[in-house]
């Protein structure tokens, strides 16, 4: 994961232009806001990235904690949301030091592919500890094995056409072929999971879980899972 953190810590071309970056994060924020259970809720967005529109999630919650492993990303988040009183920025180590059973909602979106299975098991156990007994954990944008990169490309182009950056997307995709992201993806690889495997990992961490009907974000070929802590009886 260290190489991926280095990638996100540096300037990169994962988004084809500012419009792409903006609508990407706005779409995710609007999707996440719909899951916030109420104005008193404590929400943790773990591995949040730049989270340009996190204020939309915060508006539906009591407190929103943004956490990312990349220190330059955290610095940008701190500056961007300094005027939003119910948003705080924390490192993963600070999240791990949080008291038990505090969170109403924890989200980890488009992060599982950058973790080893052992690392994923560890964070699932962490989230189980941090959630209230009636809390919800959302694991989003999980990539299934066998999904062709062509699917990602066509989905992005469809998203770009709908949001007014189709031409930039074509140029950006050509640029991405020679980018550090492509190099890392080909040398380090991404962690891919079948639906039954994710459900088994969630159950082993103490959750009852199911795949949601729709994935958070713009890519319907990827998977989102909804999980709640099991009670003492296993229910």
Domain spans of the chain, in order of start: 2-229
Which residues on adjacent β-strands are paired with residue 136? 105
User: Each residue of 17-52: pLDDT tens digit?
Assistant: 889 889 999 999 999 999 999 999 999 999 999 999
Count of CB atoms situated within 10 Å of the CB of 171? 12
User: Each residue of 77-103: pLDDT tens digit?
Assistant: 999 999 999 999 999 999 999 999 999
Polymer length of the chain: 235
Positive or negative CA dihedral for 114, 116, 117, 122? negative
> What fold characterizes domain 2-229?
Rossmann fold (3.40.50)
Global model pTM greater than 0.75: yes
User: Each residue of 65-76: pLDDT tens digit?
Assistant: 999 999 999 999
Alpha helix (H) residue ranges in the chain: 2-9, 18-33, 54-58, 71-80, 92-96, 117-130, 149-163, 166-176, 180-187, 195-204
Which pLDDT band, with edges at 50, 70 and 90, does 159 fall under? confident
Average pLDDT over residues 105-118: 95
Question: Element (H or E) spanning 96, and its range?
Answer: helix 92-96
Query: Encoding tokens for residue 168?
Result: 């930039």
Average pLDDT over residues 10-16: 67
């Amino acid at each position: 994961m260290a190489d991926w953190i280095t990638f996100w810590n540096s300037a990169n071309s994962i988004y084809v232009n500012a419009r792409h970056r903006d609508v990407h994060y706005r779409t995710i924020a609007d999707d996440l806001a719909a899951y916030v259970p109420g104005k008193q809720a404590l929400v943790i967005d773990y591995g949040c990235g730049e989270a340009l529109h996190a204020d939309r999630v915060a508006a539906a919650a009591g407190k929103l904690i943004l956490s990312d492993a990349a220190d330059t990303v955290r610095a940008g988040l701190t500056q961007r949301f300094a005027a939003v009183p119910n948003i705080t920025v924390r490192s993963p180590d600070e999240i791990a030091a949080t008291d038990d059973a505090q969170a109403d909602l924890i989200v980890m979106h488009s992060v599982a592919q950058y973790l080893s299975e052992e690392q994923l098991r560890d964070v699932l156990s962490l989230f189980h500890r941090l959630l209230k007994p009636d809390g919800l954990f959302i694991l989003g944008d999980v990539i299934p094995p066998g999904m062709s990169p062509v699917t990602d490309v066509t989905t992005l182009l469809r998203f770009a056409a709908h949001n007014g950056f189709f031409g930039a997307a074509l140029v950006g995709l050509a640029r991405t072929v020679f980018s550090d992201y492509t190099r890392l993806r080909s040398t380090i690889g991404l962690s891919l999971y079948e639906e039954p495997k994710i459900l088994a990992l969630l159950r082993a961490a103490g959750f009852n879980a199911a795949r949601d009907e729709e994935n958070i974000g713009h890519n319907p070929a990827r998977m989102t899972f909804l999980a709640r802590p099991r009670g003492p009886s296993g229910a």
